[in-house]
Amino acid sequence: MVWARRLWFRLQTLFHRCRVADELDDEIQFHLDQQIAENIAAGMSGEEATRRARIKFGGIELAKQECRDARGVPLLETVWLDARYALRTLRKSPSFTAVAVLTLALGIGANTAVFSVVNGLVLRSLPVERPNELIFLENARYGPGQSFPNYKDLRDGNHTFAGLVGYRIAPMEMETDTGPQRIWGYLATGNYFDVLGVHPVLGRFFNQSEDRHPGGNPYAVLSYSAWRSRFGADPAIVGKTIRLNRLPYTVLGVAPPDFHGTELFYWPEVWVPMMMEPRIESNAWLDERDTWNTWIVGRLKPKVSPTQAEADLNAVAAEMARQFPDVNGDLHFKVTKPGLIGNTVGTPAKAFALGVLVLAALVLLAACTNLASMFTARATDRLRELAVRLAIGAGRGRVVRQVLTETLLLSLVGGGAGYVLAAFLARALSRWRAPMDFPVQFDVESDWRVFLFALASAIIAGALFGSAPAWRVSRIDPNAALRGASTAWGRGRLALRDLLVVVQVALCFVLVSASFLALQGLQQALEMNLGFRPQQVATAAFELNLAGYTPERGRAFQQQALQAIQQLPGVQSAAYSNSVPLSIDQSHTGVFPADKTDLQPSDRIGVAFYQVSPGFFATMGTKLLAGREFTWHDDTKSPQVAIVNLAFARRILHNPDAVGKHFRGGVLGPFAEVIGVVEDGKYESLTESPEPVVFWSILQSYNSTTTVEVKSALPATQMVAEIRQAIARLDPELPLYGVGSLEQMLGFAFFPTRAAAIALSAFGILAIMLATTGIHGLVAYAVSRRTHEIGIRMAIGARPGEVLRLVLGKTAALLVLGSLVGLTLALAVGQAISSVVYEMQPRDPLVIVSAWIAIALLGLFASWSPARRAMRVDPMVALRYE
Amino acid sequence: MAKPNDLVQGTLDLLILKTLSLEPKHGWAIAKRIQQISGEVLQVQQGSLYPALHRLEQKAWIKAKWKETETGRQAKFYSLTVAGRAQLEKEAANWSRLSAAINLVVETT
């Protein structure tokens, strides 16, 4: 307990300095009084007794100082004193302090906000038991998807996992008070909750024995937010029935509030046992070994490394390949971190986040440079004060510490403001729901990691920008300074402040060119040939299988709906398909060239496919390069036909003019005849290179998932309302989703580019603001210090132009030097930026020239007013100065 | 001010601890007590007594409390802590060893 007592002492000393000082006075006064009393008793006069007592005691003040030294912790105490002194100084120049705090708040806030996203997407683990044991399974060919029979083989054949969970993101239709609504949930194997180690807040979860028979376990687990928003947090929800796809399901329980499944960006509303798949999705694939729809997350057994698990899984894969050579021929597994669908989303998302973090760090660095030169200038103005302090015996270390305390104090205040700013931004981002049917949502709210990051940034920033003035102060020559020499610190050579401006301009150049690149990338993305023209096209989607339609009735309904829509006023053309390019729902298939007779699994070529109705290409504005579109006669009664894109024609049919050629769609599939070739486009992302795509006639291969595309000159909002009504007249119960203009729907595809443009533009603007104030500060300071010199020069006949050159010559040189350094840096960090920006060419001369022009304008703007002041110097006034 | 009866530091600590081992005392009483017991040989430099007291308090060997004296004035009374008592035993043992050794050297001819 000794340490506790000591600590108490220190604190007591710190916070009750006055009381302690009074106590010390009282204690010593008591002593003196006792001595005086004794002296008087010995026969002295009152005055003499007091004098003798004081002599006997010795140096009273010295003793008091020694007591304080013995007591206080000198370091802690001086820190306290320094902090109070710094506060006083800062309060004396409120505008300076405000600018510094604002600069820091923006710099640290930007970094902390970006870090919150990195934290939420990369660093944070899933809210389950021992999340470090969890892995996500990917295979070399199909990425995240595995077939369900393969899942069962892996689950039963491995030796390294405590459990393997199979699951799938699935939309379903839930009956609500306001009619049926499309919601998103998970299909999950019975061991899902047990393996993840999640515990219900209400009721219970389903288990292994409740996931045995296809269609036999109509149970549902609600997410916490669905329970609150859809069922008013009904405490008696357990045991009640909800209707999914028009069938009753019993609610078993409610998941905890922070559990949203194993994907960090997706918030499901409901979990349903995997065996209910045939009732939830339009096609049953639980027994299909070649349908790769299942995602797998596994929990490693204790002390098993991911590498061991990977080896174990691939041993099982070898056996699976032996059993089913045509499907599992080249099966190879890889384990990755769960949360971002393995590397599919994880790798680009991490690269993006880290790239933005690097740029944010540059912004903070620019802010520090600014502050460093502000504080160095201030230290110069306080030269005399500091010199006096040194002269009367303050140690150099003590003075330097005083300067550092001031900068650290400021950066802590600025960092606190920045943290609040970032927490606010992160909260807004967490609440934000992208305007899409698919529930993309991130939890990036700040936690202790974000707080520590902000604190560390503040301390590092404070130390960084404090080191420049501290270094200056440590080199003060009090003798020269007190003699009034304003040149106590060297001049002429490239001084520290000049160096800081070069760094600042360089950083500004990097950030400005990065934001130009991002804007240019966004513009290119917006103007890019997508292979279709989204302008003036409205879409609406529905799922007929979920709504209880048989394929026959569904086919008829699709055509009725199309006819009804085509008759709406203002409609130029309309069509339907299973999906549209660049939406989330993309399908893939394997095709085989026609010239092969002995088909091997390795001959299979993966392509994306769409099932489209007649009029699809006309409505979407896709150019038909050769052949014809589908007609209403391309149905089940006529031979199989296909339209392919140019990449398909070139790569698979080896001929851009592929009309009349044949290929096989699937191992046993019939030959299909190519009747048309269309231009290439973008199908899954804006950054992909041309991918082979085949379009089937939806009349020949029915799909219950239906997207209607309508081209019309009417405003999208009006068109959408009319489409809704037209479909409601046919089936008032049918829920629609993805309703809106096609351009709106493409928001998902444009999201990364938009986010990059917004983030980088913000950084660019911040950098410009910082560089402007930095350069302005430099020039204004130079002018104010050289007023005298300018006055003399003008008095002996210098013309304003020459004065201008005197003032701006060096600034211009610094700007050029900074831009050159910045250019080099920009090329060096180009890699980091290119991961953020679509189709970025870091060496784009246009961008470099624009950045240069921006810097030049900025320099001109920033030095305008101080330069004018220099030219207006009145020699008489200037010479009388001082 | 180098007088033969100046107290080396450390020795003063020992004397203070020893003086306080019987009952709590204020600074004046400690100085008086040391002077009396030593037969007026040891003159405690009053200027160094208080820093020593504060140092010992800081080390948590003694603790302080404001109390009334017999004359009704408030004074700061110091008393020994448990750690202080242990320290006293240690320092006393050290002192005995040291003084015995010095005696041996001085008296051996």
> Order of strands across the sheet with B74-80?
B25-26, B74-80, B62-68
Angle at A221 between CA A218 and CA A223, to 5 degrees: 150
> Model confidence over A631-651: pLDDT tens digits?
988 888 888 898 999 988 888
Q: What CATH number is associated with residue B65? A: 1.10.10.10
- Average pLDDT on A614-628 reads 90
Torsion of CA A30, A33, A34, A36, to 10 degrees: 160
- Local structure of A478: helix, strand or coil: helix
CB A355 within 8 A of CB A447: no
Q: Above 80 in pLDDT, residue A48?
A: yes
**How high is the mean pLDDT of chain A?**
80
Please say whether the beta carbons of B1 and A59 come within 8 A: no
Structure confidence at residue A576 (pLDDT): 93
The residue whose two tokens read 């004193």 is: A81
The domain total for chain B is 1
* Distance of residue A136 Cα from the nearest chain B Cα, in angstroms: 58
Residue keyed to tokens 């595995």: A146
Distance from CA of A336 to the nearest CA of B (A): 56
CB spacing of B55 vs A70 below 8 angstroms: yes
Chain A to chain B, count of Cβ pairs less than 8 Å apart?
70
| pLDDT tens digit sequence for A785-840 | 777 777 888 888 878 778 778 777 877 888 888 888 888 877 776 666 665 555 55
Written as one letter, the residue type at B85 is R
Is 0.80 surpassed by the pTM of this model? Answer: no
Q: What percent of chain A has pLDDT over 90?
A: 5
pLDDT at residue A19, as a whole number: 62
What per-residue confidence (pLDDT) applies to A485? 54
- pLDDT, tens digit, for every residue of B71-87? 788 888 899 888 889 98
Task: Report residue A695 as tokens.
Answer: 């379009």
Q: In the predicted model, what is the mean pLDDT of residues A733-745? A: 78
> Are A62 and B26 in contact (CB < 8 Å)?
no
- Give the domain extent around B79: 4-108
For residue A61, give how far its alpha carbon lies from the nearest alpha carbon of chain B (Å).
Answer: 9
**Residue A881 DSSP SS3:** coil
B50 vs A6, A9, A63: nearest CB: A63
- The most confident of A112-126, A393-407, A515-529, A780-794, by mean pLDDT: A112-126
Comparing CB atoms, the residue among B45, B54, B83 nearest residue A58 is B45
CA distance A606 to A584: 18
Identify the H or E element spanning A576.
Answer: strand A571-577
CA-to-CA distance for A805 and A867, rounded, in angstroms?
10
Predicted confidence at residue B5, as pLDDT, reads 44
- Residues A296, A135 contacting (CB under 8 angstroms): no
Least confident stretch, A152-161, A162-171, A282-291, A466-475:
A282-291
pLDDT at B51 over 80: yes
pLDDT band of residue B3 (cuts 50, 70, 90) is very low
pLDDT at residue A818, rounded to an integer: 84
Closest residue on chain A to B31 (Cα): A31
A457 contacts A415 by C-beta, under 8 angstroms:
yes
Query: pLDDT by residue (tens digit) across A484-534?
Result: 655 444 444 447 777 887 888 888 888 888 777 777 777 777 777 888 888
Q: What is the amino acid identity at position A422?
A: A
Number of Cβ within a 10 Å radius of residue A288 = 14
d(CA A22, CA A28): 10
Give the B-side interface with A, CB within 8 Å: 26-28, 31, 45-48, 50-55, 57-58, 60, 66, 73-76, 83
